[in-house]
Structure 1
Amino acid sequence: MGYSREEQETSLVFDNSTSEWTVYSTVPKHIRKLTNLTELIVLESEDDRPIAVRGTLTEKQVSMKKERVYTDEQRERAAERLSKARNAL
């Protein structure tokens, strides 16, 4: 059954001396994404699928950016562009 939603977590710790991130996760979505990025150590598994993993990421594999907030006008223009693109197919 894995971890309950309340127990699921992902943590990232940066080591400035090695410029590497240590990642630990019990969140299935994050485990799937991390599997494509790095080799993981499976700490716990259930039914042949990992439910707790640990791994190392390079400094450049992790980025932090400000969340973009769209105005109503920007959202409307994006919807129009998407509609035109879909109709062009």
Structure 2
Amino acid sequence: MNKQDLAELLKYSSSQWLYVITWNNVLHQVITPFRVVVLKPVGMLVRGQIMWVEEVKITLNLTTVFIVEGSAYYYYHFDILID
């Protein structure tokens, strides 16, 4: 995927929300800021710590990135907490 294709795709996304499918197959829109729990240590974050995601970004390889306390982390380091 080139940068032009990525730009076209990003027209339909937002850094302020994302859609997730819950454990019981319900589609749920999560709006920032939302809470996550750290699954494995990364950077200054420790396992089990609950953090707030400020923004949702995407890399050129289409990997989701969460902005937490001003730093970027890949989504797979977290589990989203839905009330």
Q: Is TM more than 0.5 here?
A: no
| TM-score normalised over the length of structure 2 | 0.25
| TM-score normalised over the length of structure 1 | 0.24
Select the structure of larger CA radius of gyration: 1
Query: 1 or 2, which has the higher strand percentage?
Result: 2
